[in-house]
A and B are shown apart, each in its own frame.
Chain A
């Protein structure tokens, strides 16, 4: 070692450089592609994700302090006028809803009696938990937020998240102390809805850029601008009747088989604040299919001449 005359220099490491850079590159590339496949295709890495997320949580909490502090300082300096306006707005809304709220229990009991008379199944109610949106996730490709309730508070992946105006999204991952909510405006998020005016059922999906799109409706479907879309409850995740979105514009181009129906979310989907996580409803059993109907039209080719 002392042969080297330079201070702090070890002899040139001819033999301990490890594998060639290209070999290392291919090794790590294969490893990360394997991680991607395992995560996207098989969801194998969720335990690892939960563990690392739990370990990172104290750091994330500490890092959030300056951002939160800035927000709080802004709130503190917010002028009285804005708060008074907000207060008046809330009072007005409360008064407007008082009529409905006061009659709610009466309507509920009446509804239960009528459903019993008609021999329909009991409508299921789900418990709800209040949570606060902490921050929007830093992933620019998805629309997700992190809320401050997690698996230890009884949150599970798949639960619906609503605010005071309508549906916000769905819990996609529950970590021990926080959970990740995918907003309705995410491109991969879908929600079964119906038009409140006529009960027309459809699927609403995120369209990118904070908009929503009503998918797979024929060009002549009875949808009008300003129609309100509410959850249909067919999926067993969302309670039926929750307001979701409002139709903004309809493009009935005959060269496409489907109408392009753009919608805007009703809830404060891209805003921060308090939300309510609605518990999962137990999924109802599927109706039995009779033997003749089990052949699906899309599957397999029909024998020629069978339909003629």
Chain B
């Protein structure tokens, strides 16, 4: 049974493959918006990737993280494999945590996602510092915190196609 969270009494329709792909593509395109060096712009792709890795760990995993990561490396002009490496780690961790995270209400889920996003950023920071880049300042990590704030609304948007109308049947146990 698919539920928004494991403690929810609501049953969802199965997730559709095309919608998962579409949401990942939209997040990827949002990541291409050139904000320059403005701090605190959330990184959309890892957020959506973490969402699907937690909700559909059998459908979305490290492969998607790797290939979209490589494309982001090209688009951002960063080192090839930098985003891919970080997103593969994120997908692995999110997939591994998926059974646990879904037992919590949304606010506590976000607290699980925050370290995942921070770890993604930290992995990229370490890769770039190792290759001789400059430290971008502590505000660099702000984007993870802002991204975490979007976990709650994101849950509604991405689960919307799976909701079915509430029909009350007094004789049915659930």
Report A's interface with B, CB cutoff 8 A. Answer: 6, 8-9, 13, 17, 21, 24-25, 28-29, 31-36, 38-40, 45, 48-49, 52-53, 56, 59-60, 63-64, 66-67, 134-142, 144, 146, 173, 180, 186-188, 206, 208-209
A139-B76 in contact (CB<8A): yes
Q: Tell me if B27 counts as interface (CB < 8 A to partner A).
A: no
Report B's interface with A, CB cutoff 8 A. Answer: 1, 13-14, 29-37, 58, 61-63, 65-66, 69-71, 74-82, 84-85, 88-89, 92, 95-96, 125, 127-128, 131-137, 140
B33-A66 in contact (CB<8A): yes
- Contact partners of B62 in chain A: CB under 8 A: 21, 24-25, 28
Q: List 16 A-B contacts (CB under 8 A).
A: A8-B13, A13-B58, A21-B62, A28-B66, A28-B88, A32-B88, A33-B81, A52-B75, A60-B32, A135-B36, A137-B76, A138-B75, A138-B76, A139-B76, A188-B132, A188-B133
**B150–chain A nearest beta-carbon distance, Å:** 18
A135-B36, A141-B128 given; A28·B29 CB < 8 A:
no
What number of residue pairs across chains A and B have CB atoms under 8 A from each other? 135
- Contact partners of B92 in chain A: CB under 8 A: 21, 24-25
A139-B80 in contact (CB<8A): no
**A205–chain B nearest beta-carbon distance, Å:** 11
Which of B61, B77, B96 sits near A139, CB closer than 8 Å?
B77
B77-A36 in contact (CB<8A): no
CA A223 – CA B136 in complex, angstroms?
A: 30
- Contact partners of B13 in chain A: CB under 8 A: 8
Which of B29, B65, B136 sits near A140, CB closer than 8 Å?
B136
B80-A45 in contact (CB<8A): yes
- Contact partners of B80 in chain A: CB under 8 A: 35-36, 38-39, 45, 48-49
A8-B13, A29-B88, A67-B33 given; A60·B136 CB < 8 A:
no
A36-B80, A40-B79 given; A24·B71 CB < 8 A:
no
A32-B69 in contact (CB<8A): yes
- Contact partners of A40 in chain B: CB under 8 A: 79, 131
B34-A36 in contact (CB<8A): no
CA A280 – CA B121 in complex, angstroms?
A: 38
CA A273 – CA B84 in complex, angstroms?
A: 33
B33-A39 in contact (CB<8A): no
CA A29 – CA B63 in complex, angstroms?
A: 11
CA A8 – CA B2 in complex, angstroms?
A: 11
Which of B14, B32, B77, B79 sits near A144, CB closer than 8 Å?
B77
B75-A60 in contact (CB<8A): yes
A135-B34 in contact (CB<8A): yes
- Contact partners of B30 in chain A: CB under 8 A: 63
CA A275 – CA B40 in complex, angstroms?
A: 29
A28-B37 in contact (CB<8A): no
A39-B81 in contact (CB<8A): yes
CA A143 – CA B58 in complex, angstroms?
A: 39
